[in-house]
Amino acid sequence: MQILLIEDEQKLAGALREGLSAEGYTVRVARSGEEGFYQVHTEPFDIIILDVMLPGRSGLEILKTMRDSGIRTPVLMLTARDTTEDRVRGLDTGADDYLVKPFAYNELVARIRALLRRGAPDLGARLAISDLEMDVVRHVVTRSGKPLDLTAREFEILKYLLQNQGKVVSREMLSRDVWKEVSRHTPLDNVIDVHIARLRRKIDQQFEVKLLQTVRGVGFTLRAET
Ligand code: CA
């Protein structure tokens, strides 16, 4: 069993590594947010123990990015006392459990065992509307069971729309969250419209029920309409 421990407190990280290794786990330690972020996205682990307060990138940021990219490894969060808000945000973001520092070592081991028994929960790995389904991990999109051939960008746009069902997604949102354009020095509106048009052709053209709707003057939304 491979454990990734993202913890910047050297003494604690060292003690946990020693203890967990003695129990038979293979423990990799990342000592900063950046290092942890890198590890999460390069190697598979069975469980991730994630400190919230980290230099570089916060634990919550790492958690959000990993869940957004479909990584469902169980996460046990370590939070400081009196940070209820962090705990709530962590659980909302997709943490599976948390421990408040300082904690008893035995408690940690018990939580790890429980999470490993439970296995990876199904957190956003599959997104769907009507008969359109997206498997985020395998990067497969089907409609009525028929695979659709989307480019990487079209896939990201559709994923974003699926994650925001019930809302209208504006061009600003797509620009910021899919194209990652922080400032709007380069207006992307035309580029976005071209991609949306192609995506619409691929997901809707051959089907009677149309899913990708334009909300005039606002943006786009997914809704089944005949
Ligand atoms: Ca810390």
Find the 44 Cα to ligand 1 centroid distance in Å.
23
CA-closest candidate to residue 155, choices 61, 213, 63, 69: 69
| Confidence band, pLDDT 50/70/90 cuts, at residue 124 | low
Q: How far is the CA of 182 from the centre of ligand 1 (A)?
A: 28
CA distance 127 to 211: 14
Half-sphere exposure of 177 (CA within 13 A, CB side): 17
Q: How far is CA 101 from CA 24, 80, 86, 195, in A?
A: 24, 5, 13, 47
CA of residue 114 to ligand 1 center, whole Å: 24
Q: Which residues surround ligand 1, an ion (CB under 5 A)?
A: 8, 51, 53
Report how far ligand 1's centroid is from the alpha carbon of 98 (Å). Answer: 14
Residue range 83-102, pLDDT digits in tens: 788 888 888 888 989 999 99
Q: What's the 58 CA to ligand 1 centre distance in angstroms? A: 9
CB 6 within 8 A of CB 51: yes
Dist CA 133 CA 52 (whole Å): 33
> What is d(CA 32, CA 1) in angstroms, rounded to the nearest whole number?
22
Read off the pLDDT of residues 184-206 as tens digits, 9 standing for 90 and up.
Answer: 666 688 899 999 999 999 999 99
Closest by alpha carbon to 141, among 122, 121, 123, 161? 161
For residue 63, how far is its CA from the centre of ligand 1 (angstroms)? 15
Kindly give the distance from the C-alpha atom of residue 51 to the centroid of ligand 1, in angstroms, as a whole number: 6
> pLDDT-based confidence at 3, cuts 50/70/90?
very high
Task: With cut-offs at 50, 70 and 90, classify the pLDDT of residue 56.
Answer: confident
